[in-house]
Amino acid sequence: MTKKHNPKTTTDTQAQPASLKLEARVKLCSQPLAYGSAQLMAFAELVIGGAFVIRDIRILRVAKDGEDSVFVAFPSRRWNGDGDEKKYYDVAFPITSQAYQEATGTLLKEYNRLAASESAKPS
């Protein structure tokens, strides 16, 4: 009689993962670049737990309702669908709202720190 391997695994979709150390690496653009209806302000990388990196993160500024808003755009790729249809799909992104808040918060904090120190430099 052959014994079958039956690994005992459980998946708890409600469990919150332990927070990993996040490190943001931000490179400001020397001048904001047009990026569709937004302006590209910086490129960034997010290092997760010192072991994994997400590159090609963009920090964009868009004018909405007369006010500038800065937001994070995680990497995406364009896919040419059937006919003239062109879609974008996300390559790497936070899955939970907690992870999204932590990732964007870390990235924007570093961006704001660099932007403030850049604007404080004499011209």
Q: In what order do the strands lie in the sheet with 52-64?
A: 22-35, 38-48, 52-64, 67-73
Q: Please state, in angstroms and rounded to a whole number, the distance separating the CA atoms of residues 114 and 123.
A: 16
Q: What is the DSSP letter of 117?
A: H
Q: Give the torsion sign (CA, 17, 76, 45, 43).
A: negative
Express each pLDDT in 52-89 by its tens digit: 999 999 999 998 888 889 999 999 988 876 667 778 88
Domains and their CATH numbers in the chain: 22-75+88-120 (3.30.1120)
Mean pLDDT of 96-101: 95
Question: What pLDDT, in 10s, does the model give residues 12-42?
Answer: 445 555 678 999 999 999 888 887 789 999 9
Is 72:103 a contact under the CB 8 Å cutoff?
A: yes
